[in-house]
Amino acid sequence: MSAVGLAVGDGVVLAKRNLTRTLRVPDLMMSSLIMPIMSTLLFAYIFGSAIQVPGVSYTEFLLVGVFVQTVVFNSVITGSGLAEDIQKGIVDRFRSLPISPYSVLIGRTISDLANNVLSIVVMVVTGLLVGWRIDSSAGEAAAGFVLLLAFAYALSWVLAVVGLSVRAPEVVTNASFMIIMPLCFIANTYVSPEGFPAVLRVIAEWNPVSAVTQAVRELFGNTNPAFPPGDAWPLQNAILASFLWIVVMLVVFVPFATSRYRKAVAR
């Protein structure tokens, strides 16, 4: 078997194990299934009804923000899952087996991708029930979902670095949220950054989450004239910018996470 084939083959076996675990831990089930439903409902009814924009649906605009926020929050599992497996000695057992050295990371990121698919399906169903619609072609809609998942996958590698650097599983979640919260909220997820103070606005405009949110809105036909994207390049060229962000994140963080993993386990 080729090196890549081995890494992916072993990765898939490990991903299945991770998913089985997820289904058996009530906490993890909560975060990947119940939370997305709750977020969708809360945002749709509370904010959606509080902010009335004549002629257009704020709920449609809002829900893409909820989708992005959910996959971003889900990426925390990557770091905490890795830290926990290392701490418990499970990774040592895996490493004593003739598996590819990359398979633990590949398995973890694959299972988190599957987890995100699950969350998105749940959110789409909930969203459709509360009146959200995709106003674009099937091809564009599919591209939107692929973009969302690709971004989530790239982000998993970023949070893998956090988990492998912090190491103590209890601390990983907190450390991750310190990165994720600003990423999610200093962005165009729920409001237009136009009204932000100058510094925050520039951060929001160049935040990868903003580019991805704008791109997915465009692909789903959920843009809203009441909330213009702004003039910054990444928001005017959101699909291209998202693609570039994803590539940059993977190019930087896949090797970074791999070297962190080597350091974390070789003790």
Partner 1 sequence: MPPSVARGFRRGEPAFEPGGEAMMTAAIVAREVVKKYASVTALDGFDLEVAEGTVMGLLGPNGAGKTTAVRVFATLIQPDSGHAEVAGIDVVANPRAVREVIGLSGQYAAVDELLTGYENLELIGRLYHLGKKGAKARAEELLEQFDLTEAAGRRLKEYSGGMRRRLDLAGALVRKPKVLILDEPTTGLDIRSREATWEAIGELVASGSTLLLTTQYLEEADRLAHRIAVIDHGKLIANGTADELKDQVGGHRLEVTLRDAADLDHARAVLAPIGHGEPVATQEDRRVVVPIAAAGGVLVEGVRRLDMAGIEVVDASVRRPTLDDVFLALTGHRADKAEQNGEGVKAEETKNEEPVR
Which residues are at the interface with partner 1 (CB under 8 A)?
10, 13-14, 17, 20-21, 24-25, 88-90, 92-99, 265-267
Residue with tokens 């606005």: 201
What does the alpha-carbon distance between residue 10 and residue 191 come to, in Å, rounded to a whole number? 43
Which amino acid is it at 59? T
The nearer residue to partner 1, 183 or 264, going by C-beta atoms, is 264
Residue 82 half-sphere exposure, CB side, CA atoms within 13 Å? 36
Other C-beta atoms within 10 Å of 76: how many? 24
CB of 13 to partner 1, least distance (A): 5
The nearer residue to partner 1, 239 or 265, going by C-beta atoms, is 265
The nearer residue to partner 1, 13 or 240, going by C-beta atoms, is 13
Residue with tokens 């299934």: 33
What does the alpha-carbon distance between residue 229 and residue 73 come to, in Å, rounded to a whole number? 23
CB of 75 to partner 1, least distance (A): 21
**Could you say which DSSP state residue 89 is in?**
T
Other C-beta atoms within 10 Å of 140: how many? 14
CB of 197 to partner 1, least distance (A): 44
CB of 154 to partner 1, least distance (A): 26
The nearer residue to partner 1, 101 or 182, going by C-beta atoms, is 101
Q: Indicate the SS3 state at residue 96.
A: coil
The nearer residue to partner 1, 82 or 124, going by C-beta atoms, is 82
What does the alpha-carbon distance between residue 220 and residue 144 come to, in Å, rounded to a whole number? 6
CB of 103 to partner 1, least distance (A): 8
What does the alpha-carbon distance between residue 123 and residue 226 come to, in Å, rounded to a whole number? 24
The nearer residue to partner 1, 20 or 236, going by C-beta atoms, is 20
CB of 262 to partner 1, least distance (A): 10
